[in-house]
Amino acid sequence: MGRIVDRVRALALAWGAPGLSLVAFLDSSFLPLPGITDILLIVMVTRHKELLLLYVAATTLGSIGGCVSMHYLGRKGGEALVRRRFAGPTVERAMASLRRHGLIAVLIPTLLPPPAPFKIFMLLAGAVGIRVTRFAMAIALGRGLRYLTLGLLAVRYGGRAQVYVRENGAFVSLVAVALLTAGFSVYLLWHKAQGAKSR
């Protein structure tokens, strides 16, 4: 596995933005590459700060493609496929979260650093029938914010951004999730109030 990771890393560095997109696609789909996408993005933005937005867009698009492929597998294979791949209690909790919270349960894992569970939510989103367009929009928002933050850290701190992310990534991600959850709760309350007024 280490040899594959080394080859993928070398390929991405040689190809630039398309390489980043490919790594993000593989990492978000069938080939686990925990942390590699983040590290490569930081390295490449540090080397070419002027290409920040291009690298963030390429990485985000690759991740969307990988996630949509997992969504498709989940839709075709359904719950049975997921249960063969993941342990029972994890599946139950993820299914309950997706059925209760829908897209917010897709969005939150996109913001969390590895090794947070991610692919199980992508597969189950297809299995529970979340529409692919809404699913892709949630991935674009979550991954776009995550990769833009990493890119800005690379611009600010250069190579030290990797150390910063390693030491503070979990805390920053949890703050982002808390803000997202609070915003979503406010939206739900507002939506409920608007519905009550229109009756």
**pTM of the predicted structure, to 2 decimals:** 0.79
| Domain count within the chain | 1
Query: What pLDDT, in 10s, does the model give residues 6-60?
Result: 777 787 788 889 999 999 999 888 777 777 888 899 999 999 999 999 999 999 9
In sequence order, what DSSP letters do the residues of 129-152 get, joined into one string?
T--HHHHHHHHHHHHHHHHHHHHH
Q: How far apart are CA 46 and CA 24, in angstroms?
A: 18
Range(s) of the domain holding residue 63: 2-197
Higher-scoring residue by pLDDT: 191, 46? 46
Query: What pLDDT, in 10s, does the model give residues 51-100?
Result: 999 999 999 999 999 999 989 988 887 666 666 666 666 667 777 777 77
Q: How far apart are CA 68 and CA 143, in angstroms?
A: 13
The pair of three-digit structure tokens given for residue 62, joined into one six-digit string: 């690759």
